[in-house]
Amino acid sequence: MSDNEHSVVVHEQLHQRARAVMADLARDGNTQELADFLDHGLDVNALDAAGNSLLMLAAYHGRLETVRYLLTKGADPDICNARGQAAIAGALFKGEHEIVAALKEAGADLDLGTPTAREAATMFGQTL
């Protein structure tokens, strides 16, 4: 392996580790540390190994402050994970009403994903 190829591999490994750390920060609602990563140029729409966006992880785990922050940084509310689930449906499943409202306000597509937000709301007896 040439030095250049080795450098590319090491660079990709570092990015994978950074994405994993960012996913943990979003899941834990550690907004300030997550902001530090984003301020250093890491992608607000980065995905973890399961295809979950930072926004999906924060929404699913009830991290309202982190959700709002990510949305202000341009997080896409319509990214679906590898299982076809959207952040808003995950928030509905967890009963996170304020997060659902924040995602709706950000323009989340209510007809995206499996199940869609509309279907999830019906399944879990919630309103949109």
Q: What residues make up the domain containing 64?
A: 3-123
The identity of residue 42, as a single letter, is L
Give me the chain's average pLDDT, please.
91
Helices first, then strands: H and E counts in the chain: 7, 0
Residue 70 lies in a domain: yes
Domain CATH code at residue 24: 1.25.40.20
Confidence (pLDDT) at 15: 78
Q: For residue 128, tell me if it sits in a domain.
A: no
**Total of domains in the chain:** 1
Q: Which of 32, 40, 39, 34 is nearest to 53 (CA)?
A: 34
DSSP label of 53: B
pLDDT at site 6: 57
Q: Is the pLDDT at 17 greater than 90, yes or no?
A: no
Query: Residue 4 CA to chain centroid, in angstroms?
Result: 32
Confirm whether 115 is domain-assigned: yes
Task: Give the Å distances, CA to CA, from 4 to 8, 14, 128.
Answer: 6, 15, 52
pLDDT reported for residue 42: 87
**Within a domain: residue 59?**
yes
Residue 100 lies in a domain: yes
Mean per-residue pLDDT, 2-23: 77
**What pLDDT shows up at residue 94?**
92
Share of residues in the chain with pLDDT > 70 (%)? 93
- Mean pLDDT over 67-82 rounds to 97
pLDDT reported for residue 51:
93
Say if 53 falls within a structural domain: yes
Q: Does a structural domain hold residue 45?
A: yes
At residue 126, the 3 state secondary structure works out as: coil
pLDDT of residue 7: 67
